[in-house]
């Protein structure tokens, strides 16, 4: 049986060019990673040069271009583009190493926040665990730490959307590692109750005050909440830079691959922001 691997549109499909809003330094960095991987695995030939492969991968990640469309425009198969994207996914910093680096640089606090990355709605039992009742959508929860300027330091594994932020932080032993590094974290009201240290221990996670139905906030508590909100504002900038990669607008691939994807985008985001 003869296989037909040609595109559905036929050989005369239209091809267009587009501009990537990224620096040449990011392209060179990714191309060097590809060359290093080819040397490591002993691959002597690829259908396209490393720079062209890096451009295609960045188009998928930054602009959420479909691999099938890019494959047709470059004379390769769709699965080849998908394999290229997964090959360049690197490793992000570990939590303990990221905290120790901040401590060595003289920092005293980090900023903590969580966000839900939307995914496709799945069928059956897989549909239930990824539904976030807080955000009213299907997605994966990630926890991130930034420094006081909003630069991403670490990002957690992607967990089902129904997972609470406190549960995710306790799974990563966040408070324990913050104390070991001698650092504190500033977070929003969603992290109240995370710090389970003793009454004599210094707080590892600082949050604001939450009002109750029969106990409104005092003027001092409101001022304290405003001050904390101003301090933790840069963490929102960090997530905004991360979500500039439009592939995170809705993750269409296997959710088990989302952790590697988000951590690779953390590395690329830091390269792009720091230029």
Q: Which two structure tokens, joined as six digits, stand for 144?
A: 């991130």
- b/e map 197-213, b = 16+ CB within 10 Å: eeeeeeebbbbbbeeee
DSSP structural state of residue 275: -
Determine the pLDDT at residue 12. 60
Report, in angstroms and rounded to the nearest whole number, the Rg of the chain calculated over CA atoms.
22
Asked whether the beta carbons of 265 and 144 are under 8 A apart, the reply is: no
245 CB neighbour count, 10 Å cutoff: 23
Give the CA dihedral 254, 257, 261, 262, nearest 10 degrees: 100
111's enclosing H/E stretch is: strand 109-118
DSSP state, 219? H
Q: Can you say whether residue 67 is alpha, beta or left, with left for phi > 0 and alpha for psi between -120 and 50 degrees? A: alpha
Handedness of CA 121, 89, 86, 17 (dihedral sign): positive
State the pLDDT at residue 198: 63
Per residue of the chain (275 residues), what is the pLDDT tens digit?
A: 555 555 554 556 777 788 888 999 999 989 998 888 888 888 877 888 999 999 999 999 999 888 888 988 888 999 999 888 888 776 667 888 888 888 888 888 899 999 999 988 776 776 778 888 888 888 999 999 999 888 999 999 999 999 999 999 999 999 999 988 889 999 999 898 888 766 666 778 989 999 888 899 999 999 999 999 999 999 999 999 999 999 998 888 777 788 889 988 998 998 888 76
The partner residues of 116 in beta bridges, in order of sequence, read: 141
**Among candidates 215, 216, 211, 210, which has minimal Cα distance to 191?**
210
Dist. CA 105–CA 182, nearest whole Å = 12
Which residue reads 């990563």 in tokens? 172
Please, are residues 141 and 161 in contact by the beta-carbon 8 Å criterion? yes
Token look-up 């139905």 returns: 213
pTM (whole model) above 0.95 = no
What pLDDT, on a 0 to 100 scale, did the predictor assign at position 4? 54
User: Residue 158: its pLDDT value, please?
Assistant: 92
Going through 119-217 in order, the beta strands assigned E by DSSP cover 131-132, 137-146, 152-155, 159-160, 184-186, 205-206
Answer yes or no: are the C-beta atoms of 175 and 195 closer than 8 Å. Answer: yes
């Amino acid at each position: 049986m003869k296989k037909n691997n040609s595109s559905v549109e036929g050989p005369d499909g239209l091809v267009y060019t587009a501009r990537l809003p990224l620096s040449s330094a990011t392209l060179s960095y990714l191309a060097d990673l590809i060359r290093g991987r080819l040397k490591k695995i002993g691959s002597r030939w690829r259908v396209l040069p490393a720079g062209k492969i890096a451009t295609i991968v960045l188009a998928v990640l930054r602009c959420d271009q479909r691999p099938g469309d890019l494959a047709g425009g470059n004379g390769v198969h769709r699965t080849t583009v998908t394999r290229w994207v997964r090959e360049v996914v690197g490793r992000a910093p570990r939590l303990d190493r990221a905290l120790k680096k901040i401590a060595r640089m003289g920092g005293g606090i980090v900023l903590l926040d969580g966000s839900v990355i939307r995914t496709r709605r799945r069928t059956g039992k897989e549909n239930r665990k990824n539904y976030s009742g807080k955000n009213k959508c299907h997605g994966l929860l990630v926890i991130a730490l930034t420094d006081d300027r909003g630069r991403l330091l670490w990002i957690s594994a992607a967990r089902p959307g129904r997972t609470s932020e406190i549960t995710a932080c306790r799974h990563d032993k966040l408070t324990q590692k913050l104390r070991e590094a001698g650092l504190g974290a500033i977070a929003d009201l969603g992290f109240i109750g995370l710090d389970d240290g003793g009454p004599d221990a210094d707080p590892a996670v600082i949050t604001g005050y939450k009002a109750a139905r029969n106990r409104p906030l005092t003027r001092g508590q409101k001022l304290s909440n405003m001050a904390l909100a101003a301090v933790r504002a840069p963490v929102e900038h960090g997530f905004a830079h991360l979500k500039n990669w439009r592939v995170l607008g809705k993750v269409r691939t296997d959710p088990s691959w989302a952790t590697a994807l988000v951590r690779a985008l953390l590395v690329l985001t830091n390269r792009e922001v720091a230029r």
